[in-house]
Amino acid sequence: MAPPPRRPRPEPRRAEDAVAYDGAHGSRISSLVVDHLALLLAQVLRFDGPADAVMSRYFKQHPKLGSRDRSLIAEATFDALRRLASLRWMIQPAVPQRAPRLAALVTLARQQGGAALAPSVLRGDERAVRHALALDTASAPGAVRGEVPLWLFTRLTAQYHDAEPLLAIMAEPAPLDLRVNTLKAERDAVLAQLRAASREHAPLDAAATRYSPEGIRLIDKPPLTRWPLYQSGQVEVQDEGSQLIARLVAPRRGEMVVDFCAGAGGKTLALGALMRSTGRLYAFDINAKRLAGLGPRLKRSGLSSVHPAAIANENDIRVKRLNGKIDRVLVDAPCSGSGTLRRNPDLKWRFDETELARVNAVQGNVLRAAARLLKPGGRLVYATCSLLALENQQVIEQFLAEQPQFVPVDATAVLAAQGITIDHAARFAPWFVTLPHLHGTDGFFAAVLERKA
């Protein structure tokens, strides 16, 4: 079943193209788009909730906006969030009352080119926009050039010798990765359907992922939820790096497995497919609302062995009953999410060092509770979507110092046994690490641990 035809849309222009500002070439951006973008940015930049939720609420409040205008506004909002540090630097010192509108205009000019904004759209802001676009960000502070808060810039540049290309790619949009549900389809067959649809309708850039045997990468963002492939459960959205985390758990058929921080269940579904819907797979999470998102996905997947349960905390009685009985445990720990900033650009502005310290304490507690579930000889995989050693290597090193009955296993060897070879793996061994600028995935960390028999 092929995806429905898609409307081709123009590629946004890069920021360097926008510097050649000329408002005399007519208008492609309407005053309506600018005004709504300014209003939406004023709400989003309060950072009192996830940007996608704020945006969804805003569009529901303004149902008369057309689909093209919504698309322009949504893309511009996320572009502003990705490059907010330089945007703020460019428009300062803007009058607070004018800042949202000026931010909207500069964002659209950086995306589409200055010629997209006619004088009638700019109104009284033409001079300010010209001035902002003429600034050379090469002279800006490092955190501004890196498009991250100063605290995160300091930590990343201290930890990574190649922080500059890492930061650069983190300010770019991420591709869309799919995981083929092998209970219902094969990757080659799905790719063939996508390419056939591409020949018949608008071009679709779809290719097999570099590492994951079940992955497909789409450069564009098609209306996925309308695809028969998606509706029938043949594909799910999941970053390639996340798919590899499930491969590190490497569950066998008939085993008892726990996804300890299941969330909306992306990794749960991947584990279930690897188990061929046999055995027993528990999906635990303290956030009942988020876990409820697994329901529709589980129904589409065809899995019958998954048992979701919202728990009060890591010491919930339903967890304790399983102590010493589980073959494999995945701890997808709560974290800063710093490895996913391409997809969640507002997160870097909503998260700070105070929250980092709080989450870091939770990580150790969750890991210790999950470890008690394992039977002797069992495997535990601790994973985060964080770039920070504080949440990754340091958590594991402290755990191993406290728990001598656990030993690390080389993640490279675990994947190699499944025919998967990761570039630069030796640099991070024995841990599993993916970085956007090296691997093209989100930033992930994982440690594979086994309990001594």
Angle between helices 51-61 and 67-82 (to 10 degrees): 150
User: Which tokens is 338 given?
Assistant: 């710093």
- Between vectors from CA 302 to CA 296 and to CA 306, what angle results, nearest 5°? 75
d(CA 264, CA 262): 6
Hey, which residues are catalytic here?
385
DSSP E strands, 312-443: 326-332, 374-384, 406-409, 432-434
362: three-class secondary structure by DSSP: helix
Label residue 183 exposed, middle or buried (CB < 10 Å: 0-12, 13-18, 19+).
middle
Task: Give the residue among 83, 119, 120, 96 at the shortest CA–CA distance from 38.
Answer: 96
d(CA 334, CA 338): 11
313 — alpha (psi -120 to 50), left (phi > 0) or beta?
beta
Q: DSSP assignment of 284-303, as one string?
A: EES-HHHHHTHHHHHHHHT-
